[in-house]
Amino acid sequence: MHFTSIDPASEKTLASYSHMDATHVERTIAQCVRAQQAWAQKPIAERAAVLRRLAAVLLAQAPRVASMITAEMGKPLSQARAEVEKCATACTYYADRAEELLAPRHVDVPQATATIHAEALGIVLCIMPWNFPLWQFIRFAAPALMAGNGILLKHAPTTWGSAFEAVRMCREAGVPEELVACLVIDVADVATVIADARVRAVTFTGSTRGGAAVAALAGANVKKSVLELGGSDAYVVLDDANVEEAARICVESRCTNSGQSCIAAKRFIVQRGVIDAFTDAAMQHLRTMHVGDPLDEATRIGPLARRDLRDGLLDQVRRAVEGGAVAQSWHDVPDVGFYVAPTLLTNVDADNVALTEELFGPVAAIVEASDDADALALANASRYGLGGAVFTADPARALWFAQRLECGTVAVNDMVRSDARLPFGGVKDSGYGRELGPHGIMEFVNVKSVVVRA
């Protein structure tokens, strides 16, 4: 069996990667275990020095690595460079903060001395997606490595080139050989790896369906799991908002990574008094989005990553229109490549597929809300709960929404972004657990209490 990478802009084959057999997988896991046992004994300051070197390698090699990301999954080159550079921020954050975050904590206990320690868990399997092929890995790997863990990387089958680049850069920075290793395996092989007693936990970023399967396997084997799954983020525009600015931010969020982002704005919930002005402004901003070759610096929207993703999104648009929505687009797209023109769906009701399903591409839906309570109800009427945003000039209204939106991150008068300093994750069908921030480094440690009687 082989895994093939295809350039989504040209539809040409880039590379083919051989599937690992059982013997190769066994050897890789055994080597990772030995490397992790040695790594966990190193002082945190020594691990931090490696992470700082990794940050430097990422920044120095960003142009070349960005070109590979763009070739494999089609995101505009400028956004691919930004992805690589963002990875360096996660490495630096944990290099600077890990000693403090992992330090033993003393607790007052009568007639005893009690200390809480955070120890490495061991080997963690990470299953990573294609849409941010480097960032999704590094945002997990940086805290996991600082905590003393080893990493087995099972990447998306179309972006193995990016996975091998990630491992190569880790080694160049001084991450010990075999501590971070690729497992070039198929979905059917994942169950065997999760069941392996040497693998202590699993983290998964991807679809809700895939996450449910991974969670079931982890639960059956009594393994810790962290899931970052799909999203259908609601951006709520209230009647006192700066409508022009809100429309610009909503469209920018919707079109980032050609719309292939879990935390992109996907449902624009706009109050009745400003919906016409917002729709006009959003249409104008969509018109300015240059669609084309992702290697062109002027391009804002490239192709979707795969043919099936393009076809699936177009089918969702078709079903949305059959359900009463009006689709508006102003762009021609190249004849070759997996392109979808940026599209705005209006006249959308609460039961339309545009609101009930996640649209993974440059397609947004506008739905009208009568008042604040109606807007909140529409925003929360989703099985997803990753992020959300509210646009208003009134801090009290913003706080009211922030406290009631059912999601992991709320942005006020801005778009939702992941940030190395802040915990990131969702609720409901968007998963559980947190990455990044102080919480992210604690997901894959053994929190051990040591009590010594006085």
Q: Is 407 a catalytic residue?
A: no
Q: How far is CA 121 from the centre of its chain?
A: 23
Q: Please list the residue range(s) of the chain that carry CATH number 3.40.605.10.
A: 2-229+430-453
CATH architecture of the domain 2-229+430-453 equals: 3-Layer(aba) Sandwich (3.40)
Question: Among the CATH numbers 2.30.180.10, 3.40.309.10, 2.60.120.380, 3.40.50.620, which is that of 233-419?
Answer: 3.40.309.10
Token pair, residue 363, equals 């397609």
Which positions of the chain have pLDDT values less than 70?
none
Q: Please list the residue range(s) of the chain that carry CATH number 3.40.309.10.
A: 233-419
The SS3 assignment for 450 reads strand
Among the options 72, 165, 178, 228, which is catalytic? Answer: 228
Element (H, E) at 363: strand 363-369
Residue 116 is predicted with a pLDDT of 98
Q: Is 262 a catalytic residue?
A: yes
Q: What is the pTM of this model?
A: 0.96
User: In angstroms, what CA-CA distances link 18 with 2, 3, 108, 137, 207?
Assistant: 5, 7, 56, 21, 25
User: In angstroms, what CA-CA distances link 295 with 36, 74, 78, 166, 215?
Assistant: 39, 9, 8, 21, 38
Residue 331 is predicted with a pLDDT of 83
Residue 97 is predicted with a pLDDT of 98
pLDDT per residue over 310-345, tens digit each? 999 999 999 999 999 999 987 889 999 999 999 999
Among the options 126, 170, 262, 407, which is catalytic? Answer: 262
CA angle 199, 195, 224 (to 5 degrees): 55
Residue 449 is predicted with a pLDDT of 98
The whole-angstrom separation of Cα 325 and Cα 330 is 17
